[in-house]
Structure 1
Amino acid sequence: MMHGPVTDQDDSTSTAMGNTPLAVLQRALGLCNNVIVVFASIALIAACIILSYSVLGRALFHSPNYWQDEAAVFLLVGATFMTAAYVQSQRGHVSIEAFVGLLSERTNRIRLWLVDVASFAFCAFFAWKSWTLAHEAYVDGQVSNSMWSPPLAIPYVLMALGMSLLCIQLLLQIILPLTGGTRR
């Protein structure tokens, strides 16, 4: 069964025009996001290879590895959090569309803006707590409880960086409509 396009998916992103500081920031964040997506794709492939190697190593050679699960988790955490801003720039996060057809276009724009504000508030708190967690892990020298014992600051910093980039993306989406930015 096919449905027509949903109203808020037609105008998925806001864009600033010209060489204003917001436009420059938006282009820089877009470039940064595109580079991160490439590295995240490589990280996902690496996680698949690591886990496949682990399974084959145990099945064929009866030799367990003690590092593969954590290495894969670190790669997946990095890929997940670091690409959050890119996904948000495409409005690709899960959203509830129950009211879209019932509301006017203007009301839907206001609804999207309010969702961005609420999302920013949550993500800003999450980013702040992630940075404090990363700092504590680094200062205290926290490591995982495995034999490999990688520093926990690595995934925490990736989480904090990803949430910070997501906050910048959300802030752009909040400010652009207020400054006359157009939705494309």
Structure 2
Amino acid sequence: MRAAGLDKGPGAARLPRGASAPIRWAGMALAWTNRIIATVAAVAVVAAGIVMTEEALARYFLHQSSDWQDETAIFLLVGATFLSAAYVQSRRGHVAIEAVGGLLPTGVERVRRRVADLISLLFCGFFSWKSWVLCHEAWVEGYATFSSWAPPLWIPYLAMSAGMTLLTLQIALQLLAPQAGDDPMEGRAHGHG
């Protein structure tokens, strides 16, 4: 269930009309970034499927095995998963318990959602910070996988770090933006006050 008063057009930042100009601009920039990344992530998932299909066909018909396909597919899927997380969050598409929200009074539901967003922000911020530390360590130390192909591990760590940073920014934006029902004048305008 979406909050009332949100922009619903294609590519909308999904922020209430009452959001301040800097938050709206940041929301639009993040929405634009999320759309591009979601498109790239979709292509990466298709590419991973193609790579895995090629591997299965090569093993079955040509009796050849190669380790590059597994690692390529994993790297593509890790990148798609983490980089698209902010896009999914912008639509509140992550797993949530909506049944509870429907049972709670509006004010309590608003507080519940804010608390959940705050906890998510803290967790994702910490995860993002640790991901950047891990990415830097993989870059400096030259970490690679243990296969004969041995691609560098900073590649998936960079995707994880960037994706978690974008997710953290998306959650922060949602916390900073006024939610539908936050304005006490809104209820009076609809004859509820």
2:39 aligned with 1:15: no
Shift of 1:166: 0.2
Task: Give the Cα–Cα distance (whole angstroms) in 1 for the partners of residues 80 and 101 of structure 2.
Answer: 31
CA distance in 2, matches of 1:52, 1:171: 39
**Structure 1 segment 108-119 matched on structure 2, within 5 A:** 108-119=109-120
Q: Which amino acid is the alignment partner of residue 149 of structure 1? A: A
**C-alpha distance in 1 between matches for 2:117 and 2:101:** 16
Letter in 2 for 1:88: Q
Shift of 1:105: 1.2
* SS of residue matched to 1:79: helix
Contact conserved, 1:33 with 1:83, CA < 8 A, in 2? yes
- Deviations along 1:71-118, one digit per CA (max 9) or x if unpaired, are 000000000000000100000000123422321112111111110000
Distance apart, 1:19 and its partner CA: 7.4
Q: Deviations over 1:103-137 (max 9, x none)?
A: 11121111111100000000000000000000000
Q: 2:173 maps to what in 1?
A: 172
- Asked whether the 8 Å contact 1:142–1:151 carries over to 2, the reply is yes
Q: How far apart, in 2, do the equivalents of 1:36 and 1:25 lie?
A: 16
Structure 2: give runs of 5+ residues left out of the alignment.
7-13, 187-193
1:122-166 CA-to-partner distances (Å, cap 9, x unmatched) read 000000000000000000000000011000000001000000000
Q: d(CA) in 2 for partners of 1:99 and 1:55?
A: 44
Q: Is contact 1:16-1:26 (8 Å) kept?
A: no
Paired residues of 1:78 and 1:155 also in contact (CA < 8 A):
yes
Residues 1:51 and 2:43 aligned together: no
SS in 1 for 2:177: helix
TM-score between the two structures when normalised by the length of structure 2: 0.84
* Separation in structure 2 between the aligned mates of residue 60 and residue 156 of structure 1, nearest angstrom: 34
Where relative contact order (Cα < 8 A, 6+ residues apart) is larger, the structure is 1
- C-alpha displacement at 1:10, in angstroms? 2.7
1:1-184 maps to which residues of 2 (within 5 A)? 9-11=1-3, 15-17=15-17, 20-177=21-178
SS of structure 1 residue aligned to 2:148: coil
3-state SS of paired residue (1:92): coil
Residue segments in structure 1 that go unaligned for 5+ positions in a row: 1-8
- From the superposition, tell whether residues 121 and 19 of structure 1 become closer, same or farther in structure 2 (CA, over 3 Å): closer
Question: Aligned in 2, Cα 1:164/1:68: closer, same or farther, shift over 3 Å?
Answer: same
One-letter code of the match for 2:114? W
Please, which moves more after superposition, 26-35 or 100-109?
A: 100-109
**C-alpha RMSD over aligned residues:** 1.9
**How far apart, CA to CA, are the structure 1 residues paired with 2:102 and 2:110?**
13
Give the fraction of aligned pairs with identical amino acids, expressed as a percent.
Answer: 45
**1:117–1:174 CA contact under 8 A, matched in 2:** yes
Query: Does structure 2 retain, via aligned residues, the 8 Å contact 1:16–1:22?
Result: no
Aligned residues: 173
